Amino acid sequence: MAFPDEVLTDEEEVVLHLHPHARAAVRPILVLLVALAAVLGVWIMLPPTTGGLIGVCLVGAVALFMAVTRGVWPLLVWRGTHYVFTDERILLQDGVIARERRDLPLNRVNDHVMSQSLLDRMLGSGTLRIDSIGDQSAVLVAVPHVQQVQTLLYQLIETDRELHGDDEDDEQPEPEPVRGRDRRR
């Protein structure tokens, strides 16, 4: 499931395109392997009688259900999740059947926080929380190489501010009130 280029503007360039860390695929793959092993084990162990065939079918049905819901579906969700950093914005897209896409313009980002658990540090991944103006935030979970991604995000924000200017700098300062004696009697 590739990220569609038609959602980008003509001048916009993709700087970084990521999926969640591959560790998100480990559990679904293990579920698929265990489901297959269970079916093969029951097929080998049970006798080739009608009762054995019913047992194989029951275990096969449960294994198929678990393989689809706990194996295949999480793999599709993992592959369908995109973290795209461009020179203008951050695009977050997820979903398999129904899709949700969220855009965070770089000029609206006012804070980004990276956090890593011990396991995240060992695997080189982490969580990146991006806060933008207007109490909106986005949480990118299981970001591979999260430290480099956070540094790149900082560089993109600074480059965007240099090119387009900071909104706060464009505002005219308010005139100071006239300070004089107000003699009212």
Q: Which residues contact 123 (CB under 8 A, 6 or more apart)?
A: 21, 23
Q: What is the pLDDT of residue 50?
A: 87
The pTM of this model reads: 0.74
Over the stretch 59-116, which tens digit does the pLDDT of each residue have?
Answer: 999 999 999 999 999 999 999 999 999 999 999 989 889 988 888 889 889 899 999 9
Q: Which of 4-13, 20-29, 90-99, 144-153 has the lowest mean pLDDT?
A: 4-13
Over the stretch 20-68, which tens digit does the pLDDT of each residue have?
Answer: 998 889 999 999 999 999 999 999 998 888 888 999 999 999 999 999 9
Contact predicate 122/110, CB 8 Å:
no
Give me the helices (H) in the chain, please.
26-45, 50-67, 73-80, 118-123, 146-164, 167-170
Structure tokens at 180: 């004089």
State in Å, rounded, how far the first CA of the chain is from the last one.
Answer: 78
